[in-house]
Amino acid sequence: MLKHGPGGATVHTAGDEVHVPARAGPVVDTTGAGDALAGGLLATWLLRGGDPAHLREALEAGVDCAALAISDIGARALAAR
């Protein structure tokens, strides 16, 4: 996975490349953005059985988690609001 900050994120596989742009929204503090992205991607992908067909959905979930993480000050556990 390559993180591109405001440019989104890209995952490369043996035969494919999946890119998801960053979400629009406030950027308050980027602490923890990469961890949130990786956690959201992995959790979603594994819940879908690790099937490569769900890689885009998983990367979108990761980008969503990163957007939420950067919208407030400091690293913290993400909780439903």
Please state the rounded mean pLDDT for residues 29-56.
94
Decide if pLDDT at 25 tops 60.
yes
Q: What is the average pLDDT across 23-49?
A: 95
% of the chain at pLDDT higher than 70: 91
Count other Cβ atoms within 10 Å, centred on residue 54.
Answer: 16
Catalytically active residues are 35
* Long-range contacts, stretch 18-27, CB < 8 angstroms, 24+ apart: 18/55, 18/56, 18/59, 20/56, 20/59, 20/60, 20/62, 20/63, 21/63, 22/63, 22/66, 22/67, 23/63, 23/64, 23/66, 23/67, 25/67, 25/70, 25/71, 26/70, 26/71, 27/70, 27/71
